Structure 1
Amino acid sequence: MTSLDERRKQLQSRRAELVARMQAVEEELESHADPDWEDMAVERETDEVLEGMGLSAQTEVARIDAALKRVEAGEYGICVKCGATISEARLDLVPFTPFCRHCAA
């Protein structure tokens, strides 16, 4: 069984990884300045992928922040919809989830 403190550290560590990824994506997007048309087309495709990665990371950071607030409020591991306890196995897979298995379905 994972302790609440271990869950908090896990969430904080994942959040730090995502913030670093978002910063790297932003730096990469800002670094493109090639006037060659072919290179610009390739960079544009790459930019779209990078933007998708950045948006995905932003979404996960927001979910982690909400989970950390639930930890601080003493509500972590309790489904926000029905009030049931979220299973340890579900929290292992999706540590920021606010829903039990039944409510998430």
Structure 2
Amino acid sequence: MDAAKHENILKARKHELEVRLHKIEEDFEQPRNPDDDDRATERNNDEVLEELGETGQRELHAIDAALDRIGAGTFGICVRCGGPIGDDRLGVVPHTPFCKTCAAAL
């Protein structure tokens, strides 16, 4: 397992999420349309954006935790069972704290 490679991937994803979350925040700050039908559409869009923002915040938290594990030298080790997290799993979900077996058990 190449922690430096995963660190670069995590930092790039973190930057991408921060940019996306900033754009979502800017959208919420825009003035609302005075038309009732348009406001209803905006409210629906706001609900979707809010969910995307919450999902992004959760992923950012997981990425920060993974970066902390890299710093601590425990990246790639399952926080539940202490076994190794496979490179194939880290390739798909680089911020995962769980091996495949433990993730399936949750």
Q: Distance in 1 between matches of 2:59 and 2:65?
A: 10
Q: Give CA-to-partner distance per residue, 1:30-83, whole Å, 9 cap, x none.
A: 103211101100100111011111000000000000000000000000000111
* TM-score, normalisation: structure 1: 0.96
Where do 4+ consecutive residues of structure 1 move more than 6 Å? none
1:12-91 aligned within 5 A: 12-91=11-90
| Aligned-partner Cα distance in 1 for 2:79–2:66 | 11
Q: Name structure 2 gaps, 5 residues minimum.
A: none
1:92 aligns with 2:68: no
Q: Which ranges in structure 1 are unaligned for 5 or more consecutive residues?
A: none
TM-score normalised by structure 2 residue count:
0.95
Percent identity over the alignment is 46
Whether contact under 8 Å (1:32, 1:43) holds in the other structure is: no
Number of residue-to-residue matches in the alignment: 104
CA RMSD of superposed structures (Å):
0.8
Q: Secondary structure at the match of 1:31?
A: coil
Q: Which amino acid aligns with 2:48?
A: V
Alignment partners' CA distance in 2, 1:38 and 1:32: 15
Letter in 2 for 1:22: L
